[in-house]
Amino acid sequence: MSTVSNLLSTSLMLMQSLASMLQTLRRPFLIVCAICILSNPSAALRKLRLVYISLLYLAFCKDKKWKVPKEKDPASFFPKELGGSGSGANDKQYREKTILIIRHGESTWNDTFNAGDRNKLLFVLLFLPNLVYAIVAELYFFISGKDSESWFYDSALSAKGVSQAEGMRQFLKKEKMKLGSGSSGGSGTNREEHAIKLLLALGDEGGASSSVSSHVVSSNLRRAISTAAITLADRFALNHKDDEIILLPSLQEISFNPDALSILPPRGVVHPTWCDTNIAGLSSKKKSFASMVNTTYHTGNKTLDSNGLLRLQQFCADVFDDTKLPKSNIIAVGHSLFFRSFFRVYLPRGVEHIAKEKKLVNGGSVMVTLREVTIMDGEKKKLTKEYMIDPTSIVVVYGGFGKHTKG
């Protein structure tokens, strides 16, 4: 109890010191803001608009105001031979796709506000200096007119996040060497080897003129895009035909915090952040970072009346939309709360799995089979689609969930 009390007391003192410092800096800050607005009004106004949007979402966003529909068990829509608990029917159309999930590396927001795996006492003691550093960085972006950069809004990868993404990239390199030498990759199961081949496009012959057998899709948030670029840099260096990172707004994180809001304008050009300017392994044939990213489907931020369940349903619909993603293998780079919710909603209700309780670790990856069934809704007299993750298909590729790690 004394340790907790001391931590609370220290935290209170730090917050009081921060409040006093902000009060002292109020006038200089207002002067700097005025200078910024006068010297570069368009950039300054865009920055102020981001502040306004952040406050708006903090107050009115409904992103977390939903519950897992317990009365509707995904397993009931699928027969036992497909991992469900129901019975098959000739009038039902079943489809499946393989999804390789990758969680982004740690972000600058995490670095400032979340202890993560750091010592809790050390995090508390360094919280104020770290917060001051973050504020100074944000002021620098403001003063210098870098309106597409932010420490807090759509936060980019931190140095640790870059290291985590690079960690998975190095893992894939080692697994590729094992496969090339004829030895078994990972633990040697066919599913794990299949995952490695899909991630690196190893089975796709023909060089730059050929098309790959999998799509890479990403959340419209910068840390996810950067993680995709870093983790799969060796894949993109092969310059396969039409191999790119496709942005899907349906993958946007389930949160009302500013770091979960996209700074990228609808169908805008993706600018590299400080962690993207020198991604090792990318071929010189790639003219720019922006050339790797397809923003055709990026329609902007999630709406205020959206919520996590709606986007989960849209993501599943996107996966099986052959006009968007015609290939049967999808590599999806996204976020912890989104993916944990994905497992909670689409795994059978009676299945206990760590994926429902623990977050996928930063930079971690797991492979699943997602199934779709098209049925006739008798009451509404229209075709509807239901989805289920086959519980027998889950394979940890790298990292794992919570403290349960692998690779």
Question: pLDDT tens digits for 200-220?
Answer: 988 766 566 677 899 999 999
Q: What is the pLDDT of residue 179?
A: 82
pLDDT of residue 5: 60
Residues 98 and 79 in one domain: yes
Q: Are residue 101 and residue 226 in the same domain, yes or no? A: yes
What is the pLDDT at residue 89?
64
pTM for this entry: 0.86
Query: Residue 14 has what pLDDT?
Result: 61
Q: Are residues 233 and 366 in the same domain?
A: yes
**Interior CA angle at 400 toward 163 and 105, to 5°?**
25
In the numeric block, which tokens belong to residue 284? 């010189």
pLDDT classification of 187: cutoffs 50, 70, 90: very low
Q: Of 101, 94, 77, 226, which Cα lies nearest the Cα of 159?
A: 226
Integer angstrom CA distances of residue 60 from 53, 75, 193? 10, 34, 45
94 with 217, same domain: the answer is yes
Mean pLDDT for 243-271 is 94
End-of-domain residue from the set 120, 143, 166: 143
Question: Residue 38, class by beta-carbon neighbours within 10 Å (0-12 exposed, 13-18 middle, 19+ buried)?
Answer: exposed
- Strand locations in 104-230 (E): 214-218
Range of the domain at 116: 2-66+110-143
282-296, 342-356, 360-374: range with lowest mean pLDDT: 282-296
Q: Using an 8 Å Cβ cutoff, are 387 and 342 in contact? A: no
**Phi/psi of residue 211, each to 5°?**
-100, 145
Q: What is the pLDDT of residue 185?
A: 43
Residue 320 has pLDDT above 70, yes or no: yes
Residues 180 and 222 in one domain: yes
Distance (Å, rounded) from C-alpha 231 to C-alpha 170? 8
Structure tokens at 259: 């770091």
Residue 405's pLDDT is what? 38
Average pLDDT over residues 240-253: 93
Are 133 and 260 members of one domain? no
Same structural domain for residues 30 and 83? no
What's the total number of domains in the chain? 2
Alpha-carbon distance of 43 to 30, in angstroms, equals 16
Are 120 and 256 within one domain?
no
Burial of 203 (0-12, 13-18, 19+ CB in 10 A): exposed
Distances in whole angstroms, Cα of residue 370 to Cα of each of 97, 389, 401: 5, 5, 19
* Residue 200 shares a structural domain with residue 253: yes
- In the numeric block, which tokens belong to residue 223? 């840390």
Residue pair 358/225 in contact by the 8 Å Cβ criterion: no
pLDDT at 294 over 50: yes
Q: Same domain for 385 and 370? A: yes
151: nearest Cα among 135, 128, 162, 132: 135
Q: What is the CATH number of the domain that holds 398?
A: 3.40.50.1240
CA angle 218, 360, 119 (to 5 degrees): 120
Give the span between the Cα atoms of 148 and 145, in whole angstroms: 9
The conformation of residue 313, written as its DSSP 8-state character, comes to: H
Tokens of 265: 């304008």
Would the pLDDT of 178 be above 80? yes
Say if residue 48's pLDDT is above 90: no
Q: Are 204 and 240 in contact (CB under 8 A)?
A: yes
Residues 42 and 36: their CA atoms lie apart, in Å, by 10
Indicate whether 176 pLDDT > 70: yes
User: pLDDT for 70-80, tens place per residue?
Assistant: 888 999 999 88
CA-CA distances (angstroms) from residue 150 to 16, 332, 378?
25, 24, 50
- 275 or 112, which is more confident: 112
Same domain, 115 and 204: no
* CA atoms of 243 and 40, how far apart (whole Å): 38
pLDDT tens figures, 5-44? 665 566 566 666 666 765 666 666 667 667 666 666 777 7
Q: Which residues contact 114 (CB under 8 A, 6 or more apart)?
A: none
Are residues 24 and 82 both part of a single domain?
A: no
274 vs 108: CA distance, rounded Å? 11
**Distance (Å, rounded) from C-alpha 234 to C-alpha 170?**
10
